Amino acid sequence: MKTVPDYFGCLVFDDRIMKTMLSADVYAKLKKTIVQGEKLDLTVANAVAEAMKDWAVSKGATHYTHWFQPMTGITAEKHDSFISPASDGRVIMEFSGKELIKGEPDASSFPSGGLRATFEARGYTAWDPTSYAFIKDKILCIPTAFCSYGGEALDKKTPLLRSMEALDKQAMRILKLFGNEDVKCVRTSVGPEQEYFLIDEDVYAQRKDLIYTGRTLFGAKTPKGQEMDDHYFGVIKPRVAAYMADLNKELWKLGILAKTQHNEVAPAQHELAPIYTTTNLATDHNQLTMEIMQKVAKRHHMVCLLHEKPFAGVNGSGKHNNWSIATDTGVNLLSPGDTPYENAQFLLFLCAVIKAVDDYQDLLRISVASAGNDHRLGANEAPPAVVSIFLGDELTAIMDAIVEDRPYSAQQKTSMKLGVNVLPKFARDNTDRNRTSPFAFTGNKFEFRMLGSANSIACANIMLNAAVAASLKIYADRLEQAEDFESALHEMIRKTFKDHRRIIFNGNGYDDTWIAEAEKRGLCNYRTTPDCIPHMLDEKNVKMLVGQKVYSEAELKSRAEILLENYSKTVLIEAHTMDDMVQKQILPAVVKYANDLAVSAVSKKALVSGLACSYESETVAKLSALSDSIAQKVAVLEADIERTKSMEDVIELSSFIGKTLLADMESLRADCDAAEMLTSEEYWPFPTYGKLLFSVR
C-alpha cells in the first residue's frame, strides 16, 4: 500500500518536479521569479511550459486551464486541450510559454462592477508563478491573476499579491532598522480552519431551498439540536470517517497540508484545518479545499454544505484565519523572542497589528461581509460584528506598564524598558482560551474569527496585510529619521498602546454588555452587509488602500458595487425560493391536511352521535388561521420583491432588502414553521430538520 509521503503532492508541479524536469539554468531563472518577483523571459517560459505539459501528460492530463478567482468568490476555469494538428493528420500535444503566461478568457460575464465598461471589454489572466500548477480532473490548472486590459484587477488574487508585496516592503524597512541583514523577504502565513455540514444527498434533493440557496429557509426546531454538546469532538461516524479519509487523500495529492479534523458543535457539523502556509498558497488551497470537499461528498452520496447558516437554531459555520508574519529565514515576527532586542521588535510588530486593526476595523468587518455571514456575526455563536482584539492578560499588563512607565509585575523591580527587559514567557494556554474574540492573539499568531465558511480568505488577508503595511510604513518613516533609535522606538510603542487601548478587549465577546461598552469606546458596529460595505469608500480607507497600492480607487468602487449586488441577488433568490415553496408546497400541504382532518371529523360525527372531535376542529382552526396568514405574508413578500425591481441604486436596493425583505421572510417563515408543528409528517412536503440534521448515520 502506498504511504502518504509516497503520494503527497503527486498532482503538483512543485519544486521537486521543477528541479528534476528543468535545466539548471531555467530552474534558477524561474526560482528568481518566484522568490524575488523578477520578470520571466519568454525562452524560460517556453521551457517551463514544455516541462509542465510533459509532466501533466504523463499524469494523464489532456487539457490545461488558467485557474483564477473572479469576484464571484468561487474559482473559474476554461479548458483548452493540448492538441495541435500535425501534418500527417495526427495530433501532437503542445503548450507554449505564451499560453502559460497569459490567457484571454471571455470575461464579459464575470462581475466587474462597471470596471470593464470604463476600461476594456476583455480581461486577461496572468500566471502567478508563486503558486504551483496542479492537476485536477485531468486538467492542468495554472494559478493565475485576472485583470482588465487597463491593468485593473478583476479578481481576488491580484490585490492579495499586492497586499503581500506592500507588507513585505514595509516590514523589510523595519527589519533593516533592527539590523536583520540576512532577511530577503517577509511573508504572511495563514492556516484557515474550515467548518462545514454533511447531509445525505437524498434529503438534500428534496429541499428546493438547499438546492437554490444552500440554506434552509424553513424548518421547525428539532426536539434535539446541539443542547447536549455531545457532537463537539465526539466520535466520528463511520460514513463521515470514510469521507474524511477520502478527502484527506485528495487534498494530500494536491499538496494541501490537511492536518486536523473533528466534529463541531452542531449535529452534522465538522471542521478541517490545514497546516499554515504562505498566504496566497493558503488562499488557493482553501478554494481548492472547499471545491474538493463538495466533490468528495458526492462520491459518498452526501452533500457538503458550506453556507454560513444552513440551519436556524444550531450553530452556523465559520472559518478561522490564523495569521502571522514571518521572514524567509524562518523567524515568526509575532513570536516573543528570547532577548530584549527581539522583544522590542516583536512588540513593534504587535503594535503594528493593534494599530492596523483599530484604524481599519471597518475594513476588517467589510472583508467578511456577506448575506450568509450576516446570520452569524453577533448571534451568540460567532464573534459580534464589532471588531476587537484579545491580547490576553499578560500581554495587556505589559502594554499597560509600558504606557504608564511602571513595572508590569511584582517580580519586576524597575519600569518596563524596551531593549533592556526580557518579556516573560507567555504560556500558550493562557492566551488561547477566549473563543469569543473576533481577533485573538494566540501566542505567536492572530486568529481572525469573523470569516464565514464560504468566504474566500483572500478578502480578509488583503485588508489585514494592507492595514498592517500602513502601520509599519508610519513606523519606518519615523524610525528611519530618528536620532536616537531606541527612545524613538519606545515612544512609538507607548503611543500606539495608548492611542489604541480601546480596541483591546479580553472579556466575553458574546456578552451584550460588551456591545454597549464598545459603543462607548467608539468602535464600529456594522450589523449587516448593507450597513458596512459603503464604508469601504470612506476617505481614510481609500487613501490607505490606494497608498499601499493594493487597490486603485476605481477598483474599490467596483468592489463595493459587486459586494452589494451579490448581497441583493443572494437575498432575492432566497425570497423567490420561499415564495415558490410556500405556494407550491407548504400551502397545498397545510390545506390538504386541514381538509383531511375536517373530513375525518365530519365522518366521525356522522358515525357516532355526540362526538366533539375537538382535536380535529381545533387543529383545523389553527391551520386555517395559519394558512390565511401565510397567504397574506407571501403576498407582502411578493409585493416587496416587486418594489425592488424599480430600485436602481445599489445602496438603496441592498438596504431595502436587508431591512424589509429579510423581515418579510422571517415573519413568513415563523408561520410556516408553526404550521409544520401542527401538520402530520406524512403530509409535510419536504424533509424536516430532524431528517436533515441526523441524515448521516
**Interacting residue ranges for Mg ion, rule: CB under 5 A:** 320
Contact criterion met (CB below 8 Å) for 579 and 571: no
Q: Which is nearer to ligand ADP, 458 or 562 (CB)?
A: 458
Burial of 108 (0-12, 13-18, 19+ CB in 10 A): exposed
3-class SS at 411? coil
Residue 319 within binding range of ligand ADP, rule CB under 6 A: no
C-alpha cell at 402: 509600558
Shortest distance in whole angstroms from residue 277 CB to ligand ADP? 8
Shortest distance in whole angstroms from residue 637 CB to ligand ADP? 41
Residue 95 within binding range of ligand ADP, rule CB under 6 A: no
Residue 273 within binding range of ligand ADP, rule CB under 6 A: yes
The interface partner of residue 191, options being Mg ion, ligand ADP, none and the CB cut-off 5 to 8 Å by kind, is ligand ADP
Which CA distances in Å does 615 have to 220, 586, 610, 676? Answer: 21, 21, 15, 16
C-alpha cell at 664: 418579510
Contact criterion met (CB below 8 Å) for 13 and 134: yes
Position among 44, 166, 175, 190 found at the interface with ligand ADP (CB under 6 A): 190
3-class SS at 85? strand
d(C-alpha 285, C-alpha 292), whole Å = 10
> 142 pairs with which residues across the strands?
66
Phi-psi region of 125 (alpha: psi -120 to 50; beta: other; left: phi over 0): beta
The interface partner of residue 214, options being Mg ion, ligand ADP, none and the CB cut-off 5 to 8 Å by kind, is none
Residue 274 within binding range of ligand ADP, rule CB under 6 A: yes
Position among 8, 124, 252, 276 found at the interface with ligand ADP (CB under 6 A): 276
Position among 170, 226, 322, 570 found at the interface with ligand ADP (CB under 6 A): 322
d(C-alpha 18, C-alpha 26), whole Å = 9
3-class SS at 272? strand
Q: Which is nearer to ligand ADP, 333 or 563 (CB)?
A: 333
The interface partner of residue 323, options being Mg ion, ligand ADP, none and the CB cut-off 5 to 8 Å by kind, is ligand ADP
Question: How many Å separate Cα 273 from the centre of its chain?
Answer: 13
Shortest distance in whole angstroms from residue 193 CB to ligand ADP? 6
The interface partner of residue 444, options being Mg ion, ligand ADP, none and the CB cut-off 5 to 8 Å by kind, is ligand ADP
The interface partner of residue 555, options being ligand ADP, Mg ion, none and the CB cut-off 5 to 8 Å by kind, is none
Shortest distance in whole angstroms from residue 6 CB to ligand ADP? 23
Contact criterion met (CB below 8 Å) for 72 and 32: no
C-alpha cell at 187: 511573508
> Which residue in 568, 561, 508, 506 sits closest to 536, CA to CA?
561
- The span of 76-84, 185-193, 357-365, 589-597 binding ligand ADP (CB under 6 A) equals 185-193
- The span of 243-251, 319-327, 338-346, 389-397 binding ligand ADP (CB under 6 A) equals 319-327
Position among 261, 444, 583, 585 found at the interface with ligand ADP (CB under 6 A): 444
Contact criterion met (CB below 8 Å) for 161 and 463: no
> 153 pairs with which residues across the strands?
147
> Which residue in 160, 161, 169 sits closest to 476, CA to CA?
169
- Give the DSSP letter of residue 375: G
Position among 294, 332, 624, 629 found at the interface with ligand ADP (CB under 6 A): 332
Shortest distance in whole angstroms from residue 323 CB to ligand ADP? 6
The interface partner of residue 273, options being ligand ADP, Mg ion, none and the CB cut-off 5 to 8 Å by kind, is ligand ADP
Q: Which is nearer to ligand ADP, 395 or 578 (CB)?
A: 395
C-alpha cell at 141: 490548472
> 26 pairs with which residues across the strands?
none
The H-or-E segment that residue 197 falls in is: strand 186-200
Residue 278 within binding range of ligand ADP, rule CB under 6 A: no
Q: Which is nearer to Mg ion, 97 or 383 (CB)?
A: 383
Shortest distance in whole angstroms from residue 190 CB to ligand ADP? 6
The interface partner of residue 332, options being ligand ADP, Mg ion, none and the CB cut-off 5 to 8 Å by kind, is ligand ADP
Residue 125 within binding range of ligand ADP, rule CB under 6 A: no
Shortest distance in whole angstroms from residue 210 CB to Mg ion? 28
Shortest distance in whole angstroms from residue 447 CB to Mg ion? 5
- The span of 20-28, 49-57, 212-220, 273-281 binding ligand ADP (CB under 6 A) equals 273-281
Residue 324 within binding range of ligand ADP, rule CB under 6 A: yes
The interface partner of residue 324, options being ligand ADP, Mg ion, none and the CB cut-off 5 to 8 Å by kind, is ligand ADP
- The span of 232-240, 316-324, 359-367, 548-556 binding ligand ADP (CB under 6 A) equals 316-324
Residue 103 within binding range of ligand ADP, rule CB under 6 A: no
Phi-psi region of 25 (alpha: psi -120 to 50; beta: other; left: phi over 0): alpha
Which CA distances in Å does 551 have to 60, 148, 366, 462, 466? Answer: 40, 14, 15, 10, 10
C-alpha cell at 91: 495530433
- Please name the residue ranges forming H helices in 523-552: 529-532, 539-547
- The span of 306-314, 318-326, 354-362, 511-519 binding ligand ADP (CB under 6 A) equals 318-326
The H-or-E segment that residue 262 falls in is: strand 258-263
d(C-alpha 5, C-alpha 133), whole Å = 19
Shortest distance in whole angstroms from residue 418 CB to ligand ADP? 23
Residue 432 within binding range of ligand ADP, rule CB under 6 A: yes
Residue 191 within binding range of ligand ADP, rule CB under 6 A: yes
User: Angle of helix 279-299 relative to helix 157-177, nearest 10 degrees?
Assistant: 140
Q: Which residues bind ligand ADP (CB under 6 A)?
A: 189-191, 193, 273-276, 322-324, 332, 432, 444-445
